[in-house]
Chain A
Amino acid sequence: MAQPVLEISQLKLHFFTDKGRVKAVDGVDLAVHEGEIVGLVGESGCGKSVTSLAVMGLIPQPPGKVVAGTIRFQGKDLTKASPREMRRIRGNEMAMIFQEPMTSLNPLFSIGNQLVEAIRTHRSCSKQEAKNMALEMLKKVGISRSGILDEYPHQLSGGMRQRVMIAMAMVLNPRLLIADEPTTALDVTIQAQILDLMKALNQEFGTAILLITHDLGVVAEMCDRVVVMYAGQVVEETDRRRLFRNPKHPYTQGLLKSIPKLEEQKKRLYSIPGQVPNPLGMPKGCRFAPRCEFAFDVCGRAEPQLLPVEDGHLSRCWLHQEREEGRGHEPDHAIAQSQ
């Protein structure tokens, strides 16, 4: 396969706080290829947003610091890029949209002002040319009224604001769009529209998308490949079909089981027992072990590695690694029961 647009390897980003070192991202590997939509899934606080902000270079340092690993964007290591180089890439070759469309646009500047600014930061063109570009892009995201440029964010609904954000991110035709929970704050019907729009833009421009979400429904609809994160680490990575049909990691299995299903008339919904570990005191061994129903003695002692279970399917779990190393545990049985 060709070189990925974005390739994160062994990224460790820690926050140095008064209470101690928070390992928000601890050895993450992730790749996004040209034209691909990759889902980054996990609970709140698992490090998925921090990973994406690290790619954009938007983690305030201090307290945050990349302590190890690389973030290669089109072959260039962003962890070594100067602030000036990062500014040239941000909003130009790589753009980002955020969870909260209601607060992501500056309330005191018109839509036109904010879009024109995004364009003219990176392209030398006249205001009028930039305005035309902005209008054209706004049409592509489904806002075709001509007065839009003079309107202010408070005059638009959440869905419309997210469209404006997408237009602002896509107007310079970036190679990579990072979307951090882009539909979480929106109504379900609007969610579907925004997702369709992103998919359409992905197909039209071939923009790679890194889609951060906790919503597996969104993943099912959008993504080619999925990366599941837990407590600062990638625990499973595979394509969408395999993730839903044959999840390997107990955490992913738990996530899938937590989706309510109509045909099952259960009184209580399933939830993974226990809580996300405190980032200041990660458990020894596998980080998921304290909550895992399949945990056995190794899990509490040593940390499993992210290794292939089969071709194109990685999992960070002793269940599979034990089997490969032939230590006498029978994981298939357990997994079959869980499904």
Chain B
Amino acid sequence: MVKTEMLAYTIRRILMLIPVLIGMSIITFAIVHAIPGDPAKTIAGEKATPEQLQEIRESLGLDKPAYIQYFHYLGDLLRGDLGTSLITKVPISEEIGPFLAATAELTAASMLIAVFFGVNLGILSAWRQNSWWDYSAMLIALIGVSMPVFWLGLMEQWFFAQELGWFPSNGRIDARMEFEGITHFYVIDSLLRGDYAALSDVLMHLILPAAALGTIPMAIIARMTRSSMLEVMRSDYIRTARAKGLSEFWVIYKHTLKNACIPVLTVVGLQLGLLLGGAVLTETIFSWPGVGRYIYDAINSRNYPVIQSGILVLATIFVVINLIVDLLYAWIDPRIQYGKE
């Protein structure tokens, strides 16, 4: 695609996000308000008098009709105000940052593992279709996709942390280590400060949860890569590439993989979104202070603003990731014409 076309398309897609985001804010608002329970009671406690409750409701605007409340909420959102946590009384926009960073770091690490192993397993089994390699790779994928993440996480902890003692069993970093977050991405922080002891500790903490979380996407990516590669390998242009005298490596990794990667990319985008939101189990098992845990705790304590804004933030990230995937399609495949819709 021509660069200006691409830019116009990108801008149009970003503008199209606005109605999507408004829709999402309505849905999260509605869901939270449909949950039985009274936030005023949560704040004031069990023994509050009706007058106290009324006072709290008025101060929070909870006595007004739902649509007025929604517009207040939307107005706050537009000013970047995600509300205030009922428990900690800290603005959510300030509080959520470190949790988001922790989740993003874990997600990125597990996606890295999933893509690297998934794509290469898929390539291997497509390249040696119906061979022993193919069957083993697909067996690994089958096991991977069938393994519940909480079970895998517990097994990892038991075997690699407890029995072998190779990795720490939970947390993001050794509690004794002095560590001040700058970006809250610990890998980046430790690199920025040139603190390699911290870096290695952070990576050691990252491996087990990332492996647990990355296993299912890895298996899905491996299967997708295999079927997509097999289809592309039958194409005429792959025969042309071989007829040119290219080595098998270039035929596979340049000509076949680039053509096969579009469906894989779709899966990666969707899985990435699922990982961001669905890491709750892994985060709980590995005491990973991520956004999944943050929202989970908020649900337990009826911390409505946190639930509402937390879900909205995750949903926004999900939408943005899918936008990026769509833009990548156009970047990879020059035939895709988004100019005319």
- Please give the residue numbers on chain A whose beta carbons come within 8 Å of chain B beta carbons, in ascending order: 56, 58, 86-92, 95-96, 98, 100, 103-110, 117-118, 121-122, 152, 154, 165, 168
Alpha-carbon separation in the docked complex, A117 to B242 (Å) = 12
Main secondary structure on chain B at its contact with chain A? Answer: helix
Q: Is the CB of A168 within 8 A of B335?
A: no
A46: min CB distance to chain B, Å:
20
- Given the interface pairs A108-B332, A108-B334, the reply to whether A117 lies near B259 with Cβ below 8 Å is no
Establish whether residues A152 and B335, one from each chain, have CB atoms under 8 Å apart when the complex forms: yes
Beta-carbon nearest neighbor of A169 in chain B: B243
Residues of B within 8 Å of A, CB-based: how many?
19
| A58-B246 in contact given A98-B236, A103-B235, A108-B332 (Cβ < 8 Å) | no
B240 touches A121 (CB 8 A): no
Contacts of A98 in B (CB 8 A): 236, 239-240, 243
In addition to A90-B243, A121-B245, A122-B245, 14 A-B residue pairs with Cβ atoms within 8 Å of each other are: A58-B239, A87-B246, A91-B243, A91-B245, A92-B245, A108-B258, A108-B333, A108-B334, A109-B255, A109-B258, A117-B246, A121-B244, A152-B334, A154-B334
Interface pairs (10), CB distance under 8 Å: A58-B242, A87-B245, A88-B245, A91-B244, A92-B245, A103-B237, A104-B240, A107-B335, A117-B246, A122-B245
The smallest C-beta distance from B200 to any residue of chain A, in angstroms, reads: 39
* B247 close to A (CB within 8 Å): yes
CB distance from B264 to the nearest CB of A (A): 14
Q: Flag whether B241 is at the interface (Cβ < 8 A).
A: yes
A98 and B242 CA atoms in complex are apart in Å by 13
Instruction: Report the Cα distance A100→B238, complex, angstroms.
Output: 13
Q: A100-B236, A103-B236 are in contact. Are A168 and B333 (CB under 8 A)?
A: no
8 smallest beta-carbon distances between A and B, as pairs: A91-B245, A91-B244, A90-B245, A103-B236, A106-B237, A152-B334, A87-B245, A104-B236
Closest to B258 in A: A108
Interface contact A118-B244, CB-CB below 8 Å: yes
Q: Mark B282-301, 1 if CB is under 8 A from A, else 0.
A: 00000000000000000000
**By the criterion CB–CB under 8 Å, are A107 and B245 in contact?**
no
B240 and A95 within 8 A (CB): no
What per-residue 1/0 map shows which CB atoms of B318-336 lie under 8 Å from chain A? 0000000000000011110
Contact flag A107-B333 (CB < 8 Å), given A58-B239, A98-B240? yes
With a cutoff of 8 Å between Cβ atoms, the chain B residues found around residue A56 in the complex are: 243
Q: Smallest CB–CB gap between A15 and chain B, Å?
A: 15
Minimum CB–CB distance for A138 against chain B, Å: 16
Collect the chain A residues with CB atoms within 8 Å of residue B239's CB. 58, 98, 104
Closest chain A residue to B335, Cβ basis: A154
- How far does the alpha carbon of A12 sit from the alpha carbon of B213 in the complex, in Å? 53
Distance A92 CA – B246 CA, assembled complex (angstroms): 11
Instruction: Point out the residues of chain A lying under 8 angstroms from B243, CB to CB.
Output: 56, 58, 90-91, 95-96, 98
Q: By the criterion CB–CB under 8 Å, are B240 and A105 in contact?
A: yes
- Chain A neighbourhood of B244, CB < 8 A: 90-91, 117-118, 121, 168
CA distance A92 to B244 in the complex (A): 7
**A158 to chain B: closest CB distance in Å?**
13
A100 vs B237: C-alpha distance when bound (angstroms): 10
A106 near B334 with CB under 8 A, answer no
Complex Cα gap A275–B241 (Å): 35
Report the minimum CB–CB distance from A165 to chain B (whole Å).
7
- On chain A, the residues within 8 Å of B245 by CB distance are 86-92, 121-122
Q: Which residues of B in the span 223-250 have a Cβ within 8 Å of any Cβ on A?
A: 235-237, 239-247
With contact pairs A152-B334, A152-B335 given, residues A105 and B237 touching in the complex (Cβ less than 8 Å):
yes
Across the interface, do B259 and A108 meet the contact criterion of CB distance under 8 Å? yes
Query: Which B residues from 63 to 85 make CB contacts under 8 A with A?
Result: none
Taking the closest CB of chain B, its distance from the CB of A91, in whole angstroms, is 4
- CA distance in complex: A91, B244 (Å): 4
Q: Which residues of B from 245 to 290 have beta carbons under 8 Å from A?
A: 245-247, 255, 258-259
**Distance in Å: Cβ of A179 to nearest Cβ of chain B:** 12
Cα of A90 to Cα of B246 in the assembled complex, Å = 9
Measured between alpha carbons, how far is A108 from B265 in the docked complex, in Å?
15
Give chain B residues whose Cβ lies under 8 Å from the Cβ of A107.
237, 259, 333-335
Q: Roughly how many angstroms separate A107 CA and B243 CA in the complex, as a whole number?
A: 17
A154 to B337, CA, bound (A): 11
A108–B261 alpha-carbon span in the complex (Å): 11
Q: How far is the CA of A119 from the CA of B235 in the complex (A)?
A: 22
B242 near A90: Cβ-Cβ < 8 Å: yes
Give chain A residues whose Cβ lies under 8 Å from the Cβ of B255.
Answer: 106, 109
Of the listed residues A91, A105, A106, the one surrounded by the most CB atoms of chain B closer than 10 A to its CB is: A106
Q: Which residues of the other chain, B, contact A95 by a CB distance below 8 angstroms?
A: 243
